[in-house]
Amino acid sequence: MYLIVGLGNPGKKYGNTFHNSGFSAIDEAADLFDAAFSKKRCKAVIAECSVGGEKVILAKPQTYMNLSGESVRELLSYYKIPLSNLAVIYDDYDLPIGALRIRPRGSAGTHNGMRNIIKEIGSPDFTRIRIGIKPETEIMPIVDYVLSERSRAVKEAMAPAMENAAKAAYGFASGDSADKLGCAYNINK
């Protein structure tokens, strides 16, 4: 069984923000999985599906970004999923807009949601699908920027990364390693 989590903030006012890039990408992944977010469990909205006979849980925590780890910990426990079968899709201010990096493990970097996940599950050893959101020039404090809305031009610049993140999620659920997925789907900017 696999758990793929897209990070974001619940509520309409956050829908088009940079910080909801994980939600946007997992929505695209749900289309590839032919799955719908129709259940609530463990402080998340989830979609259940399968790939090659293997059950897959797609999740969007509803705890707000900085407490995402509570939902992830509960989902891992409820479904008895090992960390090796966890992938998290999220926005990353340490990467330029439109970049995509897939890694088998790592630190939280500047991301408070990832920091909380690592704290709650007690390990940094899970797959990350990182979507770059950093502008070419800093225009405002990071906390304000990540909660600002993406323009149409920025969404277009990010579209290939979103598409590749969704494809990587599907590949992950098919059993592909993070290294293999990185070779196939990373986008360097």
- Other beta carbons within 10 Å of 67: 17
Residue 109: what pLDDT? 84
**Global pTM value:** 0.96
Residue 139: what pLDDT? 79
Residue 136: what pLDDT? 86
Q: Which residues are catalytic?
A: 19
Amino acid in position 175:
G
The tens place of each residue's pLDDT in the chain, 189 residues long, gives 999 999 999 999 999 999 999 999 999 999 999 999 999 999 999 999 999 999 999 999 999 999 999 999 999 999 999 999 999 999 999 999 999 999 999 988 889 999 999 999 999 999 999 999 999 888 789 989 999 999 999 999 999 999 999 999 999 999 999 999 999 999 997
Q: Give the CA radius of gyration of the chain.
A: 15
- CA–chain centroid gap for 6, Å, is 3
Residue 138: what pLDDT? 81
Quick one: 83 exposed, middle or buried, by C-beta within 10 A (0-12, 13-18, 19+)?
middle
* Contact between residue 155 and residue 91 where contact means Cβ atoms under 8 Å apart: no
Match 């600002």 to its residue by tokens.
148
Residue 189: what pLDDT? 79
* Contact between residue 89 and residue 117 where contact means Cβ atoms under 8 Å apart: no
The domain made up of 2-185 has a fold known as Rossmann fold (3.40.50)
Residue 137: what pLDDT? 86
CA pair distance 53, 126, nearest whole angstrom: 22
Chain segment 26-61, per-residue pLDDT in tens: 999 999 999 999 999 999 999 999 999 999 999 999
Chain segment 124-139, per-residue pLDDT in tens: 999 999 999 999 888 7
